[in-house]
Structure 1
Amino acid sequence: MSDPSRVASTVAQRLTAARQGVRDAALLAGRDPDEVRILLATKTMPPAVIREAFAAGGTLIGENRVQEVLAKADALADVPHETHFIGHLQSNKVNQVLPYIRCLQTLDSAALAARLQARLAVLDRGLDVLIQVNVSGEASKSGAPPAAVRELVAAVADAPLLTVRGFMTIGLNSPDRAAVRRGYAQLAGIRDRAVGEGWPGADAATELSMGMSGDYLDAVAEGATIVRLGSVVFGPRTPVPRPAEPAARG
């Protein structure tokens, strides 16, 4: 399946082309294209570039670093949009990020659920969450193993200020598209069982956040309701240099 956004040049053109790719993939799979939302993965993108995507109709962004959420919040506050956190969230960063996000897509432990619940009680508000599942089994990826997902959903059900809206995964790092798709199909199966079997806490768990710039068309074919797109919309990212190490003194 070809990706039309690869040949577009501006942010607006690439976003339009990505939308068309999502639409075509959904229709080919017999799905309603309106079931799929594009999340703009805005890692390293400055507010001015993000605003270009907003001007082209983007409304949902995702950051994977707390410091970037905080740094961009004021500059984007005047444009209606929704922010999700899509990176691994350390417990000691919960207080900082909660005021700025609508959804945490990477809930992967009962301990983090308890920490979120405690802070939300202070803020007197709720939070949507997705359960992150490591369907690939790769040690480099975060997420609960598939066998532990039901127990984790039950733990979140005990946190009344959290609402499980669905499940999220990062696809297998492999050129084997069939293997990647099997992982996405596995996540869709987990979602279907959670809802169909009436797992406690999963009555609203319909979302599937899966697929990124390199494989989002396959993810749509397997049932994704959110695809997380970065470089396919914003172009290749410029590596951010790490601060220089202090010179050793001899």
Structure 2
Amino acid sequence: MNYPDPPAGRGSEIAAGLAEVERRILDACRSTGRSRDELTLIAVTKTYPAADLRLLAGLGVTDMGENRDREAAAKAAECADLPVTWHFIGQVQTNKARSVVSYADLIHGVDRGRLVGALSREAVQQGREVGCLVQVALDDRPERGGARPADVPALADAVAGAPGLLLRGVMAVAPLGSDPDVAFARLFEVAQAVQKEHPGADVISAGMSGDLAQAIANGATHLRVGTALLGRRTPFVR
């Protein structure tokens, strides 16, 4: 299959972005006594073309994150030949569960029992085991996405007991206007409580372009980086 060539210089641009992000990650690791090997960098590729994913894969980045099902499904099909781990990082509508389960390896936004049931049914039907992270609402406002910290243990139990699903840990976004250190410290406490009951659920997905250092300092294992890696977003057009 022939794939469209990226614009001239795009490969160098992405390589430079990756080098800078890696520098920031290494600086944060040195400051906190952590190893780079403890962290997974997820390239948040929403609105970026599949050609960028191919460039990233060529540079050794193989974890890609999307938050719109239609766009993600198209890219997953277009990049089916790449050794890519797909992360769905947005809220999943229950009517999109079938599609998301078909390509996602790790779903970051599991925040309600009804969604657990929908994902489980589709995973069983498709013969897949799909990793799930419980999304935590660090501002206690679940209407904006996520479960209240007090509700996370029960939701984690539901995921762990659901056929076709594998509880991998927790995720969160630092609330706008909050201190990321405080927010991610709270997430770490929630993560520890979950891991106490489910030892294999050791993933903490936290930190984006602007607050990855604070996330690393507070135990993040997965970083979700888009703009700092790939530059200013433009609308995705097929």
Question: So what's the TM-score if we normalise by structure 1?
Answer: 0.86
In 2, distance between residues paired with 1:180 and 1:74? 36
1:50 equivalent in structure 2:
53
Residue 71 (structure 1) aligned to one of 69, 74, 98: 74
Tell me which amino acid in the other structure corresponds to 1:136.
D
2:153 equivalent in structure 1:
150
Matches within 5 A, 1:190-205: 190-196=190-196, 199=197, 202-205=198-201
Q: Is the 8 A contact 1:132 1:142 kept in 2?
A: yes
2:232 equivalent in structure 1:
236
Matches within 5 A, 1:204-243: 204-239=200-235
Alignment gaps of 5+ in structure 1: 1-8, 242-250
Alignment gaps of 5+ in structure 2: 1-11
Shift of 1:88: 0.7
Q: Is the 8 A contact 1:141 1:170 kept in 2?
A: no
What count of residue pairs does the alignment treat as equivalent?
A: 226
Residue by residue, what CA displacement relative to the aligned partner does 1:50-76 show, whole Å, maximum 9, x if unpaired? 211111111100100000112212321
User: Are positions 1:115 and 2:139 aligned together?
Assistant: no
Q: Quote the sequence identity (%).
A: 35
2:184 equivalent in structure 1:
184
Matches within 5 A, 1:84-103: 84-103=87-106
Tell me which amino acid in the other structure corresponds to 1:68.
E
Which deviates further from its counterpart, 142-151 or 47-56? 47-56
Tell me which amino acid in the other structure corresponds to 2:60.
G
In 1, distance between residues paired with 2:235 and 2:124? 39
Instruction: Give the direction of change, closer, same or farther, for the CA distance of 1:67–1:109 in structure 2 (3 Å limit).
Output: same
In 2, distance between residues paired with 1:157 and 1:229? 28
Residue by residue, what CA displacement relative to the aligned partner does 1:113-165 show, whole Å, maximum 9, x if unpaired? 11111111111221110000011235663000001001111212221321111
Residue 173 (structure 1) aligned to one of 171, 176, 181: 176
- What SS does the corresponding residue of 1:164 show, helix, strand or coil? strand
2:4 equivalent in structure 1:
none
Q: Is the 8 A contact 2:169 2:195 kept in 1?
A: no
Shift of 1:231: 0.4
Question: So what's the TM-score if we normalise by structure 2?
Answer: 0.90
In 1, distance between residues paired with 2:61 and 2:105? 16
Residue 84 (structure 2) aligned to one of 81, 101, 115: 81
Residue 31 (structure 2) aligned to one of 7, 28, 52: 28
In 1, distance between residues paired with 2:190 and 2:149? 8
